[in-house]
Structure 1
Amino acid sequence: MTGNFDWQGAVFEPPTGRVHAGASELPGNCRVLVYGGTRQVLLTADGSLPTVYQAAACIQQSAAGLLRIGQQNGQEYAVLLAYDAAAATFDYPGMQLVGIRELLPDAAAAREIPAILRGYHLYSWDLQTRFCSRSGSRLVWSEQELAKVGPHGSVYPRVSPAVIVAITRGSQILLAQSVRHRGGFYSLIAGFVEPGESVEQAVHREVREEVGVEITNLQYLGSQPWPFPDALMLGFSAEWAGGEITLAPDELIAAEWFYPDRLPMLPPRMSIARGIIARVCSSLMKS
């Protein structure tokens, strides 16, 4: 029960040509990621990302240019930088802005999701990282790699490691409802890795802090980028080793042991939480 989740698809190949490019440098079939509003992306009527030609009106209104983010399965992708599609003053014939989170349960959009998440991470980082933190000088995009360059060298996109774990006790799985999902779905225990911690230590600490139990037999299952804004989720399974559930009130409003055939509302498909829950529950039902 190891490895990455199938929907992530093939590895992204590095960009070809200049990374920070103009529209004329991109192939006509390159898909353009146009973001705007609150975590939204522009899609065509058939749920695809627009080509350079289809996104021409947006591209013409942005002076920041395009960022080549690589190729997946032979398809090239680029992000329109420093541009808020929701704030634009023109219409999008045959296109609409769609919430990125809304796409996660949509199997039809699965082929585009890896590029959408990768692009949003870089788009957000670009907006937040305009100046060198040491000198205050403006940073510029490298022409050779996905990084910015300043007087003190290269600055690379931030990636924040976070852990998420499915805990089992006999034939049950522990699921919790976050204060952020009040009245909504149940998910797994998760949290960011702190300075000086290994990811294994972070799992034990988060479980102890949020639900007050001890775990054993920690096993790595897979990973998923989650660019809200810059997390890399590292997924694990573990077995309950002792203790009673004691909630951290600032983090959780509920946590319970569930049987695999009596699960509550769960996170959206294509999220790592849903993938781990499905794997672990399938294993529990076979045992």
Structure 2
Amino acid sequence: MSARDDVLALQQRMGESIVGQARMIERLLLGLLADGHLLVEGLPGLAKTRAIKMLARNLDAGLSRIQFTPDLLPADITGSEVYFTEGGRGEFRFQPGPIFANLVLADEVNRSPAKVQAALLEAMEERQVTVGATTHRLEPLFLVMATQNPIEQEGTYPLPEAQMDRFLMHISVGYPDTAAEAEIVRLAREEEAGAAGHGAAPAVRLAPEAIFTARAEIHGIHVSEAVARYVVALVQATREPGPVDDDLGKWIQVGVSPRGSIGLDKVARAHAWLQGRDFVTPDDVQAVVHDVFRHRLILSYEAHAAGVSADAALDRLVQRVAVA
């Protein structure tokens, strides 16, 4: 089997256990293929935690979960030096924290103060953790999926823009439709009875080498000059929205950073690869631009007062910026 066949089989197996959230599954795999981190926002009970658990179950990778709470400390994430005594002699040894895993679930990341959120920064950006004078490298296969609850904002600590920008994509998760809801109830009933074998390990677990092979193939996906200009035009339109559209000029206060340009290029290539193409089309760019730009836009007071969301602004942006 090719690397793409392996990833598509992984996507199918995850879809069998996560009903009604096919888009979230695809975005989770795109983040893994593009070697980036994800911020997933949705109401409780929408299978956010289940999604990364199913990914870990079907992928030969370790998973750790960090429940962010107001009393969490940075060392609870990174690990710390612990004093050990043996044979009458003592020494400090580094005890790795939960960040040292292939897949890390940062659950309700906005429930902890800034100093704890910042503990993720070096790990996410540099793929390393420094404790004392020693730097410890993380695994080559490393993905952070942070979750946020869009309601109940009392007692939360909004992520600063610098950290938001380090997430490759911001995925918004909604309710499943009626048919999917009925299927969810049926699946839960089967799992409760043990019919689905939910507690057993899957027969096939994808090796990390397949992901590395896929990434190498994605790196070779062709991006034409016209598509590259289109990506840049979308980014520039968020920074200078006035000439593009009068309403956009009123709505967007701060545009997308260069990380957004790089991220859109990477995710569009991953999307094209997942669709079985060796080149990127404008449709690939439009399919993922909302997820890549959603958390990088800062809307104006006028936009908030008018009830304009980042998605609404991006809808207008895609309509107004011509394909090169």
TM (norm. structure 2) is: 0.23
Structure with higher helix content: 2
More strand, by proportion: 1
Q: Which has the higher contact order (CA 8 A, sep 6+)?
A: 2
